[in-house]
Amino acid sequence: MSEWQQSWTDAAGIRSVRGLFRDAFGAEPHGVWASPGRVNLIGEHTDYNGGLCLPVALPHRTYVAMARRTDRRARLTTGLEDGRTWSGDLKEIAPGSVDDWVAYCGGPAWALRQAGVDVPGFDVAISSCVPLGAGLSSSAAVECAVGLALTHLAGCRRDRDDTGRAWLADVCVRAENEVAGAPTGGMDQAASLRAQAGHALLLDCLDGSVEQIPFGLEAAGLELLVIDTQASHSLADGQYGARRASCDAAARELSVATLREVTDVDAALARLDDEVVRRRVRHVVTEIARVTEFVAAAGIGDWTRAGQLMNASHRSLRDDYEVSCVELDVAVGAALDAGALGARMTGGGFGGSAIALVRSSSADAVARGVRQAAAARGLAAPVVHRATPSAAGECLIEP
Ligand code: GLA
């Protein structure tokens, strides 16, 4: 295996998805769209609490080739996993009627119709270099790329400004929550549709507003590594929903709409009886504060402080929120031992990926250290990516 895992170029993505479309449907697509996966710098499990998070879009993208049909049918084909196809009436794509990959790939068609868009029948092929099940939002990348394509074919170009992109991100969240049945917050879709290259996206989940935070690591001699532990994770399972439910219950107990409103963490904890719920709340409230501090530290180039905040975030996710796992803890520990400025699990947890902020000069040593530590523990070999903050989804070939 090569030392570093690369993302596809857009040219390679277009070639792949067009080939897939031609093989499946014997015709040329009308257009090609792409949308990226994401990695979150800090602010984990805060989005569904009205909090702050700070994702960057990855260079890894999902590519969608689509053609409009004259009837109301949909045909889906994907190169994901082993490659699969599905066809049916547009109306069959609805909550409870489709599951698994069809829900993710077709879900936006249902959510757009709910939002009043006259979605045409369509044929779609989907190819992706966003690692699957790695906590890098491969599902949001699919939804957002399909969402962009469908709005475009429906003649509704809401992607031209951030307001329209925020609307489309919400539509894709609805597809994920209601069609795929994963009770996620809005961070992933916002990152995939609203991020800018060279920037981190400061997302305020209370009102959906965003700020583009310059994140030029190269000039600072730094790199962001994404360590895919290969421990597969799934958000549709009960753990994520259980965390979300205990936050909602704590908010009710504290008589606040969301945990974002908690400003005095000690006073709030004193009002909660349950020890586990207290720890969940402590994570959320302190994590939201860490996002603000991280943005301030990054703004003045204080990367030592930024790294410390990442480490504190990991400890909080591991001990208070209890969403880490041995693979993530080993990766984070090894990255720090090998000289990373900071490291933490990223995304929903229970497997998936960690990130490490490193000096460029120590990137190789950190990648090596992480792999050696996994091997010493008998764990799967992690795959390490270099993450350049990249652009949001877009149309690559106009219909
Ligand atoms: C997953 C969800 C997001 C967010 C993160 C945790 O990625 O899809 O909405 O809740 O977990 O920060």
Q: Do 315 and 262 have their domain in common?
A: yes
Q: Is residue 247 situated within a structural domain?
A: yes
Q: Do 251 and 178 have their domain in common?
A: no
Can you tell me the mean pLDDT for 378-399?
A: 96
Sign of CA dihedral 357, 363, 365, 367: positive
Asked if pLDDT for residue 99 goes beyond 90, the answer is no
Can you tell me the mean pLDDT for 249-264?
A: 97
- In this prediction, residue 4 has a pLDDT band, given cuts at 50, 70 and 90, of low
Q: What percent of the chain has pLDDT over 90?
A: 94
Taking the centre of ligand 1 as the mean of its atom positions, its distance from the CA of residue 287, in whole angstroms, is 14
Q: Is residue 158 situated within a structural domain?
A: yes
Can you tell me the mean pLDDT for 144-154?
A: 98
- Could you list the residue range(s) of the whole structural domain that residue 120 is in? 10-215
Q: Whose CA is nearest to atom 11 of ligand 1?
A: 348
Compute the mean pLDDT over every residue in the chain, rounded to the nearest whole number: 95
Q: Which of 188, 207, 264, 337 is catalytic?
A: 188
Give the pocket of ligand 1 (CB within 6 Å): 40, 44-45, 47-48, 184-185, 187-188, 235, 347-348
Can you tell me the mean pLDDT for 110-125?
A: 98
Which residue is listed with tokens 């690559």?
396
- Tell me the CATH number at 101: 3.30.230.10
Can you tell me the mean pLDDT for 122-150?
A: 96
Sign of CA dihedral 56, 62, 63, 69: negative
- In this prediction, residue 5 has a pLDDT band, given cuts at 50, 70 and 90, of confident
Q: Given strand 84-89, what is the order of strands in its sheet? A: 84-89, 73-78, 122-128, 55-68, 31-40, 394-397
Can you tell me the mean pLDDT for 124-144?
A: 95
Tokens of 158: 């809401």
Q: Is residue 312 situated within a structural domain?
A: yes
Q: Do 322 and 342 have their domain in common?
A: yes
What pLDDT, on a 0 to 100 scale, did the predictor assign at position 93? 97
| Number of domains making up the chain | 2
Q: Do 196 and 240 have their domain in common?
A: no
Q: Give the atom of ligand 1 at the shortest distance from the alpha carbon of 176.
A: 8
Q: Is residue 138 situated within a structural domain?
A: yes
Asked if pLDDT for residue 398 goes beyond 70, the answer is yes
What pLDDT, on a 0 to 100 scale, did the predictor assign at position 80? 77
Asked if pLDDT for residue 387 goes beyond 60, the answer is yes
CA 15 to each of CA 29, 37, 64, 68, 152: distance values in angstroms, whole numbers, following the listed order = 12, 19, 11, 20, 21
- In this prediction, residue 1 has a pLDDT band, given cuts at 50, 70 and 90, of very low
What pLDDT, on a 0 to 100 scale, did the predictor assign at position 83? 73
Taking the centre of ligand 1 as the mean of its atom positions, its distance from the CA of residue 157, in whole angstroms, is 27
Q: Is residue 20 situated within a structural domain?
A: yes
Q: Give the atom of ligand 1 at the shortest distance from the alpha carbon of 135.
A: 7
Taking the centre of ligand 1 as the mean of its atom positions, its distance from the CA of residue 136, in whole angstroms, is 10
Taking the centre of ligand 1 as the mean of its atom positions, its distance from the CA of residue 184, in whole angstroms, is 6
- In this prediction, residue 2 has a pLDDT band, given cuts at 50, 70 and 90, of very low
- The predicted-structure confidence for 45-96, as pLDDT tens digits, reads as follows 999 999 999 999 999 999 999 999 999 999 999 987 777 899 999 999 999 9
Q: Quick check: is 188 catalytic? A: yes
Phi, psi of 40 (to 5 degrees): -95, 125
Q: Which helix (H) or strand (E) holds 270?
A: helix 265-270
DSSP E strand stretches across the chain:
31-40, 52-53, 55-68, 73-78, 84-89, 122-128, 199-204, 209-214, 222-228, 342-346, 353-359, 383-386, 394-397
- DSSP letters spanning 277-309: HHHHHHHHHHHHHHHHHHHHHHHTT-HHHHHHH
Query: How many residues can be counted in the chain?
Result: 399
